[in-house]
Amino acid sequence: MPDKETSRVEAFSDGVFGIAMTLLVLDLRVPHAGAAGAPRDSWSLLHALLALWPSYTSFVLSFGTVLIMWVNHHGLFKHAHRADNRLLFANGLLLLVVTFVPFPTAVLAEYLNKPAACAAATFYCGTFVLISICYNFLLAAVLPNRSPDAVGSSDHEKALARVRWAYRLGFAAYVVATVVAIFSAVAGVAICFSLWVLWVVLNYAPKRQL
């Protein structure tokens, strides 16, 4: 029964993660044929498609980040054996912010190559600071819901300590990215991209442990 409770929350969260990732494609806007200055031949359409690079960058960056968040979400829920109020609300808060991701992504796509790039990048990175905070809440909410068998085990405690450390580092790194983005949009976004790599290394190398 309590196990069924968790699996239901997980399946629902999976759905929300998946839809949020897929909706990102709606930010890619076709250069319209009817508009003034619209592409009239193949070269100008090619040019127009290449000019969308800020949209592609935002799309790939957000997709990858949400995908890693999804992997982490499951890694965390493996430790949960019951679903109490605190867990349900921490998870709901996280889903709220994950669902929000397509909006800062669209803002970044629109402004990355424009004078307002810094505000867009700061807004984008700031969203991930918020998500990091929610992950730390979720971790705190999972702790009292672990199965009694797991609590004493040293393997389990080590895995959790690693998660805790990674989450705190993630939070700090996104704060740095946000502060950097105030001065340089490109540098802020580059930090977000490199956090991908860091996250992968922390969670998967030398072998997948969580």
Binding site for a second copy (CB under 8 A): 8, 11-12, 14-26, 28, 30, 32-33, 39-46, 49, 59-60, 63-64, 67, 70-71, 74, 84-85, 88-89, 92, 95-96, 99-103, 106-107, 110-111, 114-120, 122-123, 200, 204, 207-208
CA distances from 89 to 36, 161, 162, 194 (A): 49, 23, 24, 30
CB of 5 to a second copy, least distance (A): 9
**Residue 63 or 137 having the CB closest to a second copy:** 63
Rounded CA-CA distance 194/209 in Å is: 22
In the complex, the smallest distance separating the C-beta of residue 180 from a second copy, rounded to whole angstroms, is 14
Rg (Cα) of the chain, in Å, rounded? 20
Q: Tell me the closest approach of the beta carbon of residue 157 to a second copy, in angstroms.
A: 19
What is the rounded distance in angstroms from the CA atom of residue 198 to the CA atom of residue 209? 16
Q: Which is nearer to a second copy, 40 or 152 (CB)?
A: 40
Tell me how far, at minimum, the Cβ of 160 lies from a second copy, in Å.
18
In the complex with a second copy, the residue whose CB is nearer, 38 or 172, is: 38
Residue 191 CB, nearest approach to a second copy (Å): 18
Q: Which tokens is 190 given?
A: 């580059």
Q: Judged by CB, which is closer to a second copy: 101, or 191?
A: 101
Alpha carbon 115 to its chain centroid, in Å, reads 26
Q: Is 196 helix (H, G, I), strand (E, B) or coil?
A: helix
- In this complex, which beta carbon is closest to a second copy, that of residue 172 or of residue 187? 187
* Cα–Cα distance, 172 to 130 (Å, whole number): 11
Structure tokens at 24: 């990102």
The span from the CA of 106 to the CA of 87, in Å, is: 30
Structure tokens at 32: 């319209």
**What is the three-class DSSP state of 80?**
strand
Q: Is 203 helix (H, G, I), strand (E, B) or coil?
A: helix
> Residue 23 Cβ, how far from a second copy at the closest point, in Å?
6
In the complex with a second copy, the residue whose CB is nearer, 96 or 151, is: 96
